Structure 1
Amino acid sequence: MGTKIAVKIAEKGLKKGFVANKAGISLSAFSKILSGETKEPKLKVAIKLARVLETSVEELWGHLVE
């Protein structure tokens, strides 16, 4: 999961802190998502991250919505 997010961040040229801030989560929490320590974030967080990255939750965490 974190790899898909990292790819989106790189594609858009965004900073991790910017994404975390726009999604309303701490950089620490975001780092845990990126590292895979947090494998399944709350759906609310997943939706916010998808919006910031201009993609879908399905694209980032398809298994959460199946």
Structure 2
Amino acid sequence: MEPPPDLNIIKTFQAKGLLQQYRLAAPLAFKCDRCLQDKKAKLITAYGGQWDSLWCNGCYGNHLSQKKPTA
């Protein structure tokens, strides 16, 4: 799914599985779909390519730190 046209994405980071991070030019107010807290940030993560499922940077980092390394 494509990002909403009104977002000014200045950087797209390499995807980590189903998680794709984006740096925005201006902060975006959203509710994190993982921790359910209201957030306002320039760095956001779209889960599974769904722009109605945004994660905050804390949940993104927490999720990656819990993944088991592969051999």
TM-score tier (shorter): under 0.3
Tell me which of the two structures has the higher relative contact order, counting C-alpha pairs closer than 8 angstroms and 6 or more residues apart: 1
Bigger fraction of residues in strand? 2
Whose helix fraction is larger, Structure 1's or Structure 2's?
Answer: 1
Q: TM-score of the superposition, structure 1-length normalised? A: 0.25
